[in-house]
Amino acid sequence: MTYILGIETSCDETAAAVVIDGKTTASNVIASQIDLHAKYGGVFPELASRAHIEAIGAVVDQALEDAGVTLDQIDAIAVTRGPGLVGSLLIGINYAKGLALAARKPLLGINHLEGHVYSLWLTQPFREVNFPVLVLIVSGGHTELLLMRGHGQYERLGATLDDAAGEAFDKVGRMLNLPFPGGPNIERAAQMGNPGAFPFPRTKRDQSFDFSFSGLKTAVMREVTVPASSEARKKSAPEKGLILRSDISINDVAASFQEALVDTLVEKTARAAKHYGAHEVFMAGGVSANQRLRAQMRKETDLPVRYPPLNLCTDNAAMIASAGHFRYLSGLRDDLDMEVLPMWALSNNTYNVRNRP
């Protein structure tokens, strides 16, 4: 059996986990900073790095303890190398290097997006994957369509040209005065709203597999806020920001926004799956927790659709450990002086990426 210790600090979660053979989660510890960032309505990079420094030692110790193993029994240490916030990535990678050096263990630098893909390998019971697979990654920082032909092999088919899907959820959540993060709170409000109340725009049905959500976000803003020229708006101090119209239902706006975004994601994914002859559709990342997205994806494609367990949709280290397992099996090891790659795109063969920025 292969034991991989995973460490993830690319954004606002300090996480460590132990995964056995890439598929069994022996432990999964996450110190979330949501409360810390909630009052800013988003992730504050300097605060994030400081919180990672404070939490990482205890989080890693806890992950080993929960799994009932010592560092000696670990086969390799997998750590998120990018993409992400540079200051946050550095905390994880430096900690992982320290452990690897002290315990003489191999070090594996993992692409965070590849980690999200491997959250699908942690579903129990695991069914063998029938490649090629069409993967939709929808998180707070990324919206990408990939064709995965095998372990570590990705072809990037499209991505968002502006906001990521989760970012759109978070921005619209802020507009509607819902708590951070917007995604789960919009989903909750949407359950009580009418998805047909507002005909928000869907991304143009062009032939590309790219996404754009800024038009949708602007359309929502135009619908829900008091126009800048109005008397009510002029009377308010500018620092008060946007004023919400009082005559509309937040639940209806949330449901209509979610429906427009989900329609776009599903249409492009289903079309890409058909076009490239995929055998399965995978969804991963924070937004893949969305029940409406899951239901519509199942409805609109004839292929088997997989998504991670709810607790592994958002950032965690078990997915990093699982990705690390397959990198480890491929025989690759990274250097102890590897650098962080804050803009690392997931494409081609990730197993061949060395210290290339």
- Residue among 22, 92, 182, 324 that touches ligand KG4 (CB under 6 A): 182
- x/- map, 95-114, Zn ion, by CB under 5 A: --------------------
- The Cβ of residue 251 has, within 10 Å, a number of other Cβ atoms equal to 18
The answer to whether the beta carbons of residues 57 and 156 sit under 8 Å apart is: no
331-350: which residues touch ligand KG4 (CB under 6 A)? none
The item of ligand KG4, Zn ion, none sharing an interface with residue 287, based on CB under 5 to 8 Å by kind, is ligand KG4
Find the shortest distance in angstroms from Cβ 160 to ligand KG4. 12
Nearest 5 degrees, angle CA 286-CA 60-CA 347?
Answer: 45
13-20 and 24-32 strand pairing: antiparallel
Q: Which amino acid is at 309?
A: P
Measured distance CA(71)–CA(62) in Å, rounded: 12
Which is nearest to 77 in space by CA: 90, 66, 91, 92?
92
Q: Quick check: 315 binds Zn ion (CB under 5 A)?
A: yes
Q: Which is nearer to ligand KG4, 132 or 182 (CB)?
A: 182
Q: Please state, in angstroms and as integers, the Cα–Cα distance from residue 151 to each residue in 1, 115, 236, 328, 351, following that order.
A: 19, 12, 56, 11, 9
Q: Quick check: 183 binds ligand KG4 (CB under 6 A)?
A: yes
- Residue among 114, 144, 187, 334 that touches ligand KG4 (CB under 6 A): 187
- Residue among 25, 119, 139, 160 that touches Zn ion (CB under 5 A): 139
Q: Which is nearer to ligand KG4, 152 or 286 (CB)?
A: 286
Q: Quick check: 8 binds Zn ion (CB under 5 A)?
A: no
The item of Zn ion, ligand KG4, none sharing an interface with residue 187, based on CB under 5 to 8 Å by kind, is ligand KG4
- DSSP per-residue codes, 24-71: EEEEEEEEE-HHHHHTTTS--HHHHHHHHHHHHHHHHHHHHHHHT--G
Q: Quick check: 195 binds ligand KG4 (CB under 6 A)?
A: no
Q: Which is nearer to Zn ion, 288 or 301 (CB)?
A: 288
Q: Which is nearer to Zn ion, 34 or 103 (CB)?
A: 34
Q: Residue ranges of the alpha helices (H) in 71-229?
A: 86-103, 112-118, 165-175, 182-190, 214-224
Helices 291-300 and 182-190: crossing angle, nearest 10°? 70
Residues in contact with Zn ion by the rule CB under 5 A: 139, 315
Residues in contact with ligand KG4 by the rule CB under 6 A: 11, 139-141, 166, 169-170, 181-184, 187, 285-287, 289-290, 314-315
